[in-house]
Chains A and B, each alone.
Chain A
Amino acid sequence: MKIQLKDSLYTLVRGKVLRTRQLTELEKLFEIALPEGQSLDHEPGQFVQVSIFGVGEAPISICSSPTKRDSFELAIRKVGRLTRALHELEPGDEVGIRGPYGKGFPVTLMEGNDIMIVGGGIGIVPLRSLINYIIDNRRDFGKVDILLGCKTPKDMLFGDEVETWQKRVDVNFSCTVDRADPDWKGNIGLITSLIPGVNLDPNRTFAAVVGPPVMYKYVIQELRKKQIPDRQILVSLERHMKCGLGKCGHCQIEHFYCCQDGPVFSFDQIKDLEGAI
């Protein structure tokens, strides 16, 4: 059994921070380029392992579309040790990158169909890679509905970009907040309240749902009321993947390794798994 073993699976490439932008009080956007003009070549919905030497490593979803080739973007909430350190980075600084890992949204399968995007809170981050991919390949997809929800208007990430989606004539856009402020002119209420109003042909609709754990159950209930088949309801599940290679065990959802078999699953893959959602 003389097989040439490749180098360590844990070596990384050094990504250079090109630009950063504070999105909200907690979230910051990083634009990162790989050395020598390499392209990350990811699928929408995949993630990378990001690290700072001496602090640690964490899985972060890629929020830019693969159609943007010379750099990629990560939107990172300041919540733990590594993300706090990442927020200190300035343009020109370097981070360790390995990946991309996992299964993203099955865009080839989705082509030719209508798309419904349902994003809650920080769920917009991985969905943004899909939304921009669809917009950049708009003719490959049918009708597109984007439904977004967040706690208050100031929590809405990518506000200016969301506005351009809203203005497009080839995208149906709606948005809701749990609590409005005086300037808010849109809907108030949970994201589930937006679903009944969407006019759709269930057999040719793929729904992509990403949000906080509590959101999935209720959103999926609404989507099933609309008769969207379970295999066409796509969710992205969050787990704390340590290796990203299907070995360390941290992200296991029964027999699935979320880092390899997911993070994007169709609902029919996971509906019988009690621990999934």
Chain B
Amino acid sequence: MKDKILLKENLVSFGNSLIEQYRLIAPVKSNGFSLYKPVGNASEICLDYLRPLKSAKEIFFPQNETLFFFNKKTQKIAEPAYDKKPTILFGAVACDLAGIAAQDRLFSAGAYLDSYYLKRRRNSILIGMACPEPGEMCFCGFFGIDRFASDIADLFFTPFSDKYYIKVNTEAGARLVESLPDAAAADAKTVERLRCENAEPKWDIPPLDELARMLAEGFEADVWDEIAQKCIGCAACTFVCPTCHCFDITDEAKGEIGRRVRTWDGCMFPKFTLHASGHNPRTKGGQRMRQRILHKFSYFKDNQGVVSCTGCGRCAEICPVNVDIREVLKQLGEACERKS
């Protein structure tokens, strides 16, 4: 599959050619924020951003979704209609693509394939976009995430001069860009140089493998309570996170007709683990903080094979009391050093 070139001035017409057959989702400006949203005309696409305020997870795992409708009187249930039009996610940054890769694992793990997620996901095409400069809160490089490439993307765009270099990863992607001119060897070199020039800064967090050991050793460290002291349990971090996947299942009904709904939930809510009996296995803030961090860095890796933090920095950015995940990891590292 040959890589392709698209002139920046042709982006809108390229986007509009996709809209005919696909539901196109791309970053757009909304109330001053950048958000991944369905696009009616490709001129709405706004690539003048760091990364969208919210991650791309809701495209395949909506914040609120109907599992089925029910009729209380007849006891009959009906699954919601499913839009068969395939989705293209355009302009996704590498951290968000890594988030989708993690969610793919979770929702197809074990004996239970999640049909709601996978129906959407398998009927989708991912088009990535290089992120030229990491933001203040970003640390995707710490996880070895390449801002200029993604295996999971069908196509990956890198802007340079007045063009986009299009890395073609899959047949499905290749079909979308068939009519575009092939990239020249010189273009590939230019993009590679761009990537090298933008190498990641160094991080003053213990490296990942060392971190895993520290997390295991530091399980009972007092540092969790210290870190959690300022946390107000709002769980905003879990909502903006590209990999957090906890959800609740509830019923909503008006008269005889109702629906069973799955809604995002978060392990930082104090009542997340509360039993009807009143017993709560995680009563302390420190236990909840530890659960969230260790789920990302240890449990998800044990169960699904990858660390489920992508370094997007959204949790640190959104936190009303400035809990910064990078600081948390650093503090944990220091606490472990003090102990040894």
Contact between chains at B75 and A249 (CB < 8 Å): no
Contact with A along B232-255 (1 / 0, CB 8 A): 000000000000011111110100
Contact between chains at B260 and A10 (CB < 8 Å): yes
Contact between chains at B106 and A248 (CB < 8 Å): no
B269 to chain A minimum Cβ distance, whole angstroms, is 11
Whether, in the assembled complex, B115 has its beta carbon less than 8 Å from a beta carbon of chain A, the answer is yes
Whether, in the assembled complex, B60 has its beta carbon less than 8 Å from a beta carbon of chain A, the answer is no
Of the listed stretches B16-24, B134-142, B292-300, B330-338, chain A binds B292-300
Whether, in the assembled complex, B274 has its beta carbon less than 8 Å from a beta carbon of chain A, the answer is yes
Contact between chains at B299 and A254 (CB < 8 Å): yes
A73 to B70, CA, bound (A): 25
Contact with B along A227-264 (1 / 0, CB 8 A): 00000000000111011011111101111000010000
How many B residues, CB 8 Å from partner?
52
Contact with B along A260-277 (1 / 0, CB 8 A): 100000000000001100
- Contact partner of A10 (CB less than 8 A), chosen from B68, B109, B119, B220, is B68
A91 to chain B minimum Cβ distance, whole angstroms, is 16
Of the listed stretches A50-58, A62-70, A156-164, chain B binds A50-58
> Measuring CB to CB, which residues of chain B are less than 8 angstroms from any residue of chain A?
67-68, 70-72, 75, 77, 79, 106-107, 109-110, 112-116, 118-119, 122, 219-220, 245-251, 253, 258, 260, 262, 265, 267, 272-277, 279, 281-282, 287, 291, 294-295, 298-299, 302-303
Set of chain A residues within 8 Å of B267, measured between Cβ atoms: 249, 252
Set of chain B residues within 8 Å of A260, measured between Cβ atoms: 110
Question: Binding site of A, secondary structure by majority: helix, strand, loop or mixed?
Answer: loop
Whether, in the assembled complex, A1 has its beta carbon less than 8 Å from a beta carbon of chain B, the answer is yes
Contact between chains at B109 and A246 (CB < 8 Å): yes
B256 to chain A minimum Cβ distance, whole angstroms, is 9
Whether, in the assembled complex, A7 has its beta carbon less than 8 Å from a beta carbon of chain B, the answer is yes
Whether, in the assembled complex, A199 has its beta carbon less than 8 Å from a beta carbon of chain B, the answer is no
A5 to B250, CA, bound (A): 24
B67 to chain A minimum Cβ distance, whole angstroms, is 4
A98 to chain B minimum Cβ distance, whole angstroms, is 11
Given known pairs A11-B68, A247-B245, the reply for A255 and B302 (CB within 8 Å) is: yes
- Contact partner of A56 (CB less than 8 A), chosen from B71, B114, B250, B298, is B250
Whether, in the assembled complex, A37 has its beta carbon less than 8 Å from a beta carbon of chain B, the answer is no
A76 to chain B minimum Cβ distance, whole angstroms, is 11
- Contact partner of B251 (CB less than 8 A), chosen from A56, A213, A247, A249, is A56
Pull 6 A–B residue pairs with CB atoms less than 8 Å apart, ordered by A. Answer: A9-B115, A55-B251, A79-B276, A238-B277, A247-B109, A247-B112
Residue in A closest to B247 when the chains form the complex, CB atoms: A248
- Contact partner of A6 (CB less than 8 A), chosen from B115, B122, B258, B273, is B115
- Contact partner of A248 (CB less than 8 A), chosen from B116, B248, B275, B295, is B248
Whether, in the assembled complex, A87 has its beta carbon less than 8 Å from a beta carbon of chain B, the answer is no
